[in-house]
Chains A and B, each alone.
Chain A
């Protein structure tokens, strides 16, 4: 620690602090433009200049100068004010000062400083910037005439996002921020640059001319897309969500968001939202009242009773999931499940059998300090982008060694020094087994306290690195190095994402990853962690609350087969578009067609809802109170920011009514439900709403200690023998099917596509935008081609979000689909 004096105030700070950080601690205000807490010190703008007694003769930039013992700092003097004022005059020489029409007006750092330093005139003259604005993309507008060249956009895009869209170009007076070849922005559109810009140079386009900043009401909630659980601060005006506000004080994401979080909110305001209950009369769905719709639901479900199936997505709040489970109880049915019933088995069966846990063992922020990170699948960045940014920081700032086990390249594989074990599709388990084998063979495995070592050793006989290298196409050295690095690291992380498009071998993959985490000692070790992250915002909550079939109950897939065979009397689907997103669409459609009574509760008239007997209009995350549990077990508050459109109601209210219809007691409020569910859920016991502070509350503390340490032998797969294999997965811009109703993500990726590697595209004579057909098993899907350099030869990719593509006509849960390509 270092002691120094700022404006006569004594302050003690860490020796790595800068004068600016020390001043913040002492409560002394020093103006800044180019400084941002999460970025490296830069010193571009020179408005933070201060006097330091020990460094007389010149002014010192507070934001880049480290503190030293006994330093005496003066933050304001006539000289300093004069210089800061001059700096502002310089900045205002070319700046267009078009504040009246600038969306930043009212919260612009330049405007505020100009006001604070009373820069009413300018001693210097120069031409005003007259640069064209970049309005090529629909999400981010860049107006370089307002830029102060602080470089924050370029730095955040490099340091945090790892995309590198921007750079300073030209020199001297001509210097400006631009993209490569000074073209329109074309990137991930995460909007981190928007949140960092201190002026109105980079703005969110959807928010343009929507509201003055001071007219906005801010409500902190949690993003309704992926399991990362980012805090989103909804900016609302006149009961409409108009924008997402920057907030780095609350939650786990440090103010970082992805395209979905920042621009995907617009599905809330979609005109396609269901606003009235619908009921099937004479074959077609007609609007009705809640009373009639609920009476019909109660009637139908009373008849089906224990032969009812309940299926949900993992997007509901914990409180709503709790009520849903109570509905099942009231019906006497154990047939309840979520998210297709397969993809989460890596957790519920895989980790359960090995670690005795059903959750990630550590929290996200720890990953920034890891020395080695293993990401299973490059798709992790696509499903959990903001966690991906933490990985990026670990690699860039702390030189973490990143290994990616992947069937295609992606953002992770491009990070500096990242090693990619690029394998043939479907062979992740083989590679992890080989890594386990290396650890055991080379005596690197930490086998004390583990059970099943000998059995695993025996089972791994077929997984010598040499053998696996041959099957997977990965080099022996790469497998060995990956295993050794992971074992040698003091702090290490294993990342695995799961979700509807990743149902193949989910249990096996969970076991393999857990084996590796046990042999390396990662599971349960402070600073290290095994992260098995759900695709949806409350995937972890659904598992914690056991929204899964009971001992004699049917899982989602079994319910579908039972329904198809006429053995299920009713199906109640809440917040899930099974037809669009579940593997094997035909089977789903057949089941929904056959089931005598189908209730669908959703935001939109999805293809699943279109088949229903009763459709109940539900509320989005922005319209309800409750809690979500993210993929690192962090329980966070969700808050209602706007009323629901029309007669739509929250799932909580709907489920309460259904419960009442059965004479069951329903908690009156979400808070009451939370109290009940925590009492009912072992891991949540003793947690009260008051304990969910600004950072939420992580159940089981930051490091979850494994309850058991069983190694379980698990078999890998064989490569698929087909010239062209299609991978199904998640695209960065989308999440589930919900984002296809949001203007933001749709503006970037508006339609389904089939992605080809350059070599394949050339060989097949396919160009970007060509309509291509893929056939498999007598089914044909058709979409535009996208040509990129991510995919190895013979491998194609398609995202699963778009119902219209009908991808699940050929996707039945396989790791890769053998396809014929045609035009």
Chain B
């Protein structure tokens, strides 16, 4: 398959936001990281087309950008949910049953670690300690923290965000 055919297969993405980001950094040497970070901020992830656009406009090989994107855990190449549920799997939470919390999310939403629901509402992430061992087991939904959580409370949290939509 040719390069352009491969590109044609990916969904059409509005590149205005990515272009605006690159405009800002166009003349800065070594600006790849902030460009990628801000593109991710704008789109929620790094769409493939923005990689090709960045490659062309910053004169960096697409392969190199892909190397950077796969090296750092902070970058995501797939669309992510509106709500990122981070399930702490640190030692304290593990002892207090974090595994069951993860299972519950999997059961209710059908997503395990680093997976996203089809409606793009939730992404689950199993993370190491988030530094709230005092209230283990703990989960975070975006910036909100839910401590001393149980299976039932997990259900309630999920339901709350589902209703928020």
Tell me whether A531 is interfacial, beta carbon within 8 Å. no
CB-CB nearest 6 A-B residue pairs: A164-B61, A167-B67, A180-B62, A167-B63, A169-B70, A180-B63
Given contacts A158-B61, A167-B61, contact A183 B6 (CB under 8 A): yes
Q: Note all chain A residues with C-beta closer than 8 A to B64.
A: 164, 167
Tell me whether A287 is interfacial, beta carbon within 8 Å. no
Q: Note all chain A residues with C-beta closer than 8 A to B8.
A: 767-768
Interface string of B31-68 (1 = CB under 8 A from A): 00000000000000000100100011001011111110
Instruction: Check B4 against A169 for contact (C-beta < 8 Å).
Output: no
CB distance from A686 to the nearest CB of B (A): 48
Instruction: Check A170 against B63 for contact (C-beta < 8 Å).
Output: no
Given contacts A169-B70, A171-B71, A180-B51, contact A768 B4 (CB under 8 A): yes
Most chain A CB neighbours (cut-off 10 Å) among B8, B70, B71: B70
A767 to B8, CA, bound (A): 10
Interfacial residues of chain B within 70-90, with CB under 8 A of chain A in the complex: 70-71
- Report the nearest B residue to A169, measured CB to CB: B70
A647 to B55, CA, bound (A): 53
Tell me whether B163 is interfacial, beta carbon within 8 Å. no
Instruction: Check B4 against A788 for contact (C-beta < 8 Å).
Output: yes
Instruction: Check A179 against B4 for contact (C-beta < 8 Å).
Output: no
CB distance from A135 to the nearest CB of B (A): 14
Q: Sort chain A's interface into a size bin.
A: 20 to 34
A158 to B59, CA, bound (A): 12
Tell me whether B152 is interfacial, beta carbon within 8 Å. no
CB distance from A317 to the nearest CB of B (A): 38
Tell me whether A670 is interfacial, beta carbon within 8 Å. no
Q: Note all chain A residues with C-beta closer than 8 A to B55.
A: 180
Besides A166-B63, A170-B70, 18 new A-B residue pairs in contact (Cβ under 8 A), listed by A number:
A136-B1, A164-B63, A165-B63, A167-B64, A169-B66, A169-B70, A170-B71, A180-B62, A180-B63, A181-B48, A181-B62, A184-B1, A186-B1, A186-B3, A414-B59, A767-B8, A787-B4, A788-B4
CB distance from A618 to the nearest CB of B (A): 36
> Out of B1, B5, B59, B66, which one reaches A180, CB within 8 Å?
B66
Tell me whether A693 is interfacial, beta carbon within 8 Å. no
Q: Note all chain A residues with C-beta closer than 8 A to B16.
A: none
Q: Note all chain B residues with C-beta closer than 8 A to A158.
A: 61
Interfacial residues of chain A within 92-147, with CB under 8 A of chain B in the complex: 136
11 CB-based A-B contacts, threshold 8 Å:
A164-B61, A166-B63, A167-B61, A167-B64, A168-B67, A181-B51, A181-B66, A186-B2, A767-B8, A768-B4, A786-B2
Q: Sort chain B's interface into a size bin.
A: 20 to 34
CB distance from A343 to the nearest CB of B (A): 31
- Report the nearest B residue to A787, measured CB to CB: B4
Instruction: Check B66 against A182 for contact (C-beta < 8 Å).
Output: yes
Interface string of B3-42 (1 = CB under 8 A from A): 1111010000000000000000000000000000000000
State the B residues within 8 Å of A (CB): 1-6, 8, 48, 51, 55-56, 59, 61-67, 70-71
Tell me whether A178 is interfacial, beta carbon within 8 Å. yes
Q: Note all chain B residues with C-beta closer than 8 A to A136.
A: 1
Tell me whether A452 is interfacial, beta carbon within 8 Å. no
CB distance from B63 to the nearest CB of A (A): 4
Q: Note all chain B residues with C-beta closer than 8 A to A788.
A: 4
Tell me whether A416 is interfacial, beta carbon within 8 Å. yes
Instruction: Check A768 against B5 for contact (C-beta < 8 Å).
Output: yes
Q: Note all chain B residues with C-beta closer than 8 A to A789.
A: 56
CB distance from B36 to the nearest CB of A (A): 14
Q: Note all chain A residues with C-beta closer than 8 A to B61.
A: 158, 163-165, 167, 180
CB distance from B114 to the nearest CB of A (A): 14
A291 to B63, CA, bound (A): 60
Instruction: Check B2 against A169 for contact (C-beta < 8 Å).
Output: no
A265 to B62, CA, bound (A): 31
Most chain A CB neighbours (cut-off 10 Å) among B4, B8, B48: B4
Instruction: Check A169 against B5 for contact (C-beta < 8 Å).
Output: no
A808 to B8, CA, bound (A): 32
Most chain B CB neighbours (cut-off 10 Å) among A168, A178, A179, A788: A168
Q: Note all chain A residues with C-beta closer than 8 A to B5.
A: 768-769
- Report the nearest A residue to B71, measured CB to CB: A171
A788 to B2, CA, bound (A): 11
Instruction: Check A180 against B65 for contact (C-beta < 8 Å).
Output: yes
A183 to B7, CA, bound (A): 12
Q: Note all chain A residues with C-beta closer than 8 A to B4.
A: 768, 787-788
- Report the nearest B residue to A136, measured CB to CB: B1
Instruction: Check B2 against A178 for contact (C-beta < 8 Å).
Output: no
Q: Note all chain B residues with C-beta closer than 8 A to A768.
A: 2, 4-5, 8
Instruction: Check B59 against A169 for contact (C-beta < 8 Å).
Output: no
Instruction: Check A179 against B63 for contact (C-beta < 8 Å).
Output: yes
- Report the nearest A residue to B3, measured CB to CB: A186
Q: Note all chain B residues with C-beta closer than 8 A to A416.
A: 59
Interfacial residues of chain A within 180-214, with CB under 8 A of chain B in the complex: 180-184, 186
> Out of B1, B6, B56, B67, which one reaches A169, CB within 8 Å?
B67
Q: Note all chain B residues with C-beta closer than 8 A to A171.
A: 70-71
A170 to B3, CA, bound (A): 22
Q: Note all chain B residues with C-beta closer than 8 A to A414.
A: 59
Q: Note all chain A residues with C-beta closer than 8 A to B6.
A: 183
A186 to B52, CA, bound (A): 14
A163 to B61, CA, bound (A): 8
A178 to B56, CA, bound (A): 19
